[in-house]
Chain A
């Protein structure tokens, strides 16, 4: 009657973790993923041919195919319309899947095995305890063993120092921030990023090893391509940047209990009425993105991990019971972005070089945490991505038409155009940029809903609305001042505040909140046997820290709770 014990919908930051944990408990798991499976022998040409249907073996993973797709070129990898890492079907001749967002911004999510962790920067901090305790339905203490397990599995380690981190620490110390040597952040301070990136190759600084050799060995080579597809590693499961495609997915396949079907967009949740349990989930329908055929699978339990937009969309399109909080309460860390341009002679005296080397090292390797306000973290990208984030993406209009008031800690605000832009980009190598993550207040009006008229092949399309609260705006402005003052202290000669659009959505959280849509075990209140294991179950934006690790800790815990309730397994933390 059943095809599996569990069906997991989505193989990104959360779904892959749930699949691995459940597979290790001996449960039979099927994973449905809407996008492609890169680096797998079943799909030799994943962007132009349908290839196979399922992968069930660790031995399907192929480092040659992986490195052929992940070629590190920023336009090829990250073009939102047609890149290898986009939210769309595997077939790159086709258009991406549309989301309607009637405001400035963009949604940086990716389909494909590994989901958005394919291009995430691997930052893996824990939530701020102050954003969880006495606010969430569960305590921070309850999360700690699961944090520890995920951190050991990925693994997570503090970032090494490269020139840009050295410059960041130099500025942070001069601005008065103190070192915060902890994973549990309760006071402000600076620290290296806890990143899911393998430590640097121990032979990296030895010139007897060529870069070609090092690239085929284990360990980070500081190649700076976290966002464009890391290639350092001897095999798929030992790639340095630990997106779930190279970490949890190989571990899931190794259990022998997990099968993954990419190119399969889940369009419906099947339910039934049970005399004892009431309404419960019992299967899914999915659409093959190459053939258009609709398939059906049955399982004893379902884990929805389609992401903060697609999970509520699926709930709504499946006609599951009305819940006033489905799709509501979206948080996003309302980002900002600042950059400082340095003189070569100043860099020479601070770093001993005339360049920040923005393209070397972890994409983001150091941060200042400020509980109650947020985080600013040094974040440097290849020039195409850096140019648009720094000079072309803004809620504030054009700097030339509305320059900042004197006395602000930034010289420019908003988009820069014309000869001034070219002059600035000429100094890309002397520019240090930072991403700002705001402690974003939950608002009921921020939401994902489905359009009453517009559909794509997967059903009514999502519509997203996001507008920050007054408190979020105040916190973000404070963060921008702190970050720009740090750049001033480091000696930047020109400082730009991009003032990113409100609708730049990367850290989307809390659209299916714990305590509202799911219970404290992440099972839906209104549909038994339906669990959720993505960012959407977060009660809030966890204070500003990057959300993936918390989702992965919760997914580990959810797998534990599910296996206990429906399959009689003991709870791991009770052992």
Chain B
């Protein structure tokens, strides 16, 4: 997909490969659903949700550094967190399925089978990991690890099932410059008809409040 000018993502390849593996494990491509239409086969990676994660993580934290407000991009360090987790998971002989050796050098996390990736997330979330080996801001900070693992799950779902991917070539622009370019695939998959001005869905009233001179009664 061609990105709009000035809306490029600075994330490196390892980060994107790692996040792609993450979102694939959470919302996978599912050929078995082709009977319900080709759209139902598409997963989060098909929608580019790994870019969403990288954009969000790089735009979420600003703190004073010295005398200036400074943005601290978190995508690369968060991807490294997953990769360090994957290495420790494999080193502890916890793998249930074989790894894809050709991916190991680029991103150990992406070399794992999808369910093993989920197990790495669980291991990190439960802090069954050497916290000292993690990259900052996760190093020796279990609270940050717990927060971010949970965030990665919900952000993957929000990226997939909201309208984000339908911003197409403008999806990585600042939000005020994004333009909707198609009907969101996640909405189509879930049978959501899209935003609406209203529904003729009224089926009556169970109770009503009646006010008279500052006193309410229920009818």
* B208 interfacial by beta-carbon distance below 8 Å: yes
Q: Say which residue of B27, B119, B151 sits within 8 Å of A421 (CB atoms).
A: B27
Q: Taking each of A103, A417, A455, which has the highest tally of chain B beta carbons within 10 Å of its own beta carbon?
A: A417
Known: A75-B163, A212-B197. A104 touches B202 (CB 8 A): no
Contact present for A223 and B191 (CB under 8 Å): no
* Nearest CB in chain A to that of B52: its residue: A75
CA A31 to CA B200, docked complex, whole Å: 39
Contact present for A428 and B150 (CB under 8 Å): no
Q: Give every chain A residue within 8 A of B200 (Cβ-Cβ).
A: 204-205, 207, 222
CA A503 to CA B146, docked complex, whole Å: 11
Contact present for A397 and B126 (CB under 8 Å): yes
Task: Map CB proximity to B onto A12-49 as digits: 1 under 8 Å, 0 otherwise.
Answer: 00000000000000000000000000000000010110
Interface size on B, residues (CB 8 A): 80
Q: Say which residue of B142, B158, B159, B202 sits within 8 Å of A204 (CB atoms).
A: B202
Task: Map CB proximity to B onto A77-94 as digits: 1 under 8 Å, 0 otherwise.
Answer: 001011110000000111
Q: Say which residue of A105, A224, A385, A417 sits within 8 Å of B199 (CB atoms).
A: A224
CB A303 to nearest CB in B, in angstroms, measures 25
- A176-225 contacts to B, CB under 8 A, are 179, 181-183, 191-192, 194, 200-201, 204-205, 207, 211-212, 214-215, 221-225
Known: A75-B162, A222-B202. A426 touches B40 (CB 8 A): yes
Q: Give every chain A residue within 8 A of B186 (Cβ-Cβ).
A: 383-384, 387
Known: A163-B203, A214-B197, A454-B63. A148 touches B32 (CB 8 A): no
Task: Map CB proximity to B onto A454-471 as digits: 1 under 8 Å, 0 otherwise.
Answer: 111100010000000000
Q: Give every chain A residue within 8 A of B71 (Cβ-Cβ).
A: 95
Task: Map CB proximity to A onto B70-102 as digits: 1 under 8 Å, 0 otherwise.
Answer: 010000000000000000000000000000000
Task: Map CB proximity to B onto A388-407 as digits: 1 under 8 Å, 0 otherwise.
Answer: 11011110011011000000
Contact present for B176 and A418 (CB under 8 Å): no
Q: Give every chain A residue within 8 A of B115 (Cβ-Cβ).
A: 400, 418
Contact present for A421 and B26 (CB under 8 Å): yes
Known: A156-B209, A224-B199. A417 touches B26 (CB 8 A): yes
Contact present for A104 and B205 (CB under 8 Å): no
- B184-219 contacts to A, CB under 8 A, are 186-187, 189-193, 195-209, 211, 214-216, 218
CA A501 to CA B154, docked complex, whole Å: 12
* A425 interfacial by beta-carbon distance below 8 Å: yes
Q: Say which residue of B146, B191, B193 sits within 8 Å of A103 (CB atoms).
A: B146
Of the stretches B8-16, B54-62, B103-111, the one at the interface is B54-62
Contact present for A181 and B118 (CB under 8 Å): no
* A553 interfacial by beta-carbon distance below 8 Å: no
* B34 interfacial by beta-carbon distance below 8 Å: no
Contact present for B197 and A221 (CB under 8 Å): yes
Contact present for A211 and B209 (CB under 8 Å): no
Known: A221-B197, A232-B197, A401-B122. A422 touches B209 (CB 8 A): no
Contact present for B40 and A417 (CB under 8 Å): no
Q: Give every chain B residue within 8 A of A231 (Cβ-Cβ).
A: 197
Known: A384-B163, A393-B153. A418 touches B191 (CB 8 A): no
Contact present for B40 and A222 (CB under 8 Å): no
- B107-136 contacts to A, CB under 8 A, are 114-115, 118-119, 121-122, 125-126
Contact present for A425 and B189 (CB under 8 Å): yes
Q: Give every chain B residue within 8 A of A392 (Cβ-Cβ).
A: 26, 153-154, 156-158
* A122 interfacial by beta-carbon distance below 8 Å: no
* Nearest CB in chain A to that of B204: its residue: A161
Task: Map CB proximity to B onto A148-182 as digits: 1 under 8 Å, 0 otherwise.
Answer: 11011001111011110110010000000001011
CB B5 to nearest CB in A, in angstroms, measures 16
CB A477 to nearest CB in B, in angstroms, measures 21
CB B155 to nearest CB in A, in angstroms, measures 8
CA A229 to CA B154, docked complex, whole Å: 21
- A124-158 contacts to B, CB under 8 A, are 145, 148-149, 151-152, 155-158
Contact present for B207 and A152 (CB under 8 Å): no
Q: Give every chain B residue within 8 A of A387 (Cβ-Cβ).
A: 157-158, 160-161, 186, 190
Q: Say which residue of B149, B154, B190, B199 sits within 8 Å of A361 (CB atoms).
A: B199
Known: A95-B60, A400-B115, A417-B118. A102 touches B199 (CB 8 A): no
CB B36 to nearest CB in A, in angstroms, measures 7
Q: Say which residue of A149, A166, A215, A385 sits within 8 Å of B214 (CB atoms).
A: A149
Q: Give every chain A residue within 8 A of B158 (Cβ-Cβ).
A: 75, 79, 384-385, 387-388, 392
Contact present for B150 and A76 (CB under 8 Å): no
Q: Give every chain B residue within 8 A of A361 (Cβ-Cβ).
A: 199, 201
Q: Give every chain A residue within 8 A of B218 (Cβ-Cβ).
A: 158, 181-183
Q: Give every chain A residue within 8 A of B27 (Cβ-Cβ).
A: 417, 421-422
Contact present for A422 and B202 (CB under 8 Å): no
Q: Give every chain B residue within 8 A of A426 (Cβ-Cβ).
A: 33, 36, 40, 189-191
Contact present for A359 and B150 (CB under 8 Å): no
CA A247 to CA B146, docked complex, whole Å: 39
Contact present for B118 and A456 (CB under 8 Å): no
Q: Say which residue of B119, B141, B175, B190 sits within 8 Å of A429 (CB atoms).
A: B190
CB B170 to nearest CB in A, in angstroms, measures 12
Contact present for A222 and B201 (CB under 8 Å): yes
Contact present for A194 and B197 (CB under 8 Å): no
Contact present for A383 and B161 (CB under 8 Å): yes
CA A508 to CA B151, docked complex, whole Å: 20
CA A48 to CA B176, docked complex, whole Å: 8
CA A160 to CA B205, docked complex, whole Å: 5
* A113 interfacial by beta-carbon distance below 8 Å: no
Contact present for A457 and B69 (CB under 8 Å): yes
Task: Map CB proximity to A onto B12-28 as digits: 1 under 8 Å, 0 otherwise.
Answer: 00000000000001111
A83-B175, A158-B206, A455-B63 known; 13 other A-B pairs, CB under 8 Å? Answer: A47-B176, A98-B60, A103-B143, A158-B209, A169-B206, A355-B191, A366-B206, A388-B158, A418-B25, A418-B26, A419-B33, A425-B161, A461-B63
Could you give 29 example pairs across A and B, Cβ below 8 Å? A47-B176, A75-B158, A81-B56, A81-B60, A83-B175, A98-B63, A149-B214, A151-B211, A156-B209, A158-B218, A161-B206, A162-B203, A163-B201, A192-B206, A214-B197, A221-B198, A222-B198, A224-B196, A225-B195, A232-B198, A382-B162, A384-B157, A384-B161, A385-B158, A393-B153, A421-B27, A422-B28, A457-B64, A457-B69
| Residues of A that sit less than 8 Å from B by CB | 45, 47-48, 71-76, 79, 81-84, 92-96, 98, 101-106, 145, 148-149, 151-152, 155-158, 160-163, 165-166, 169, 179, 181-183, 191-192, 194, 200-201, 204-205, 207, 211-212, 214-215, 221-225, 228, 231-232, 355, 357, 359-361, 366, 382-389, 391-394, 397-398, 400-401, 415, 417-419, 421-423, 425-426, 428-429, 454-457, 461, 501, 503
Q: Closest 9 A-B residue pairs measured CB to CB?
A: A102-B143, A221-B198, A384-B162, A428-B190, A75-B162, A388-B154, A95-B62, A360-B199, A72-B195
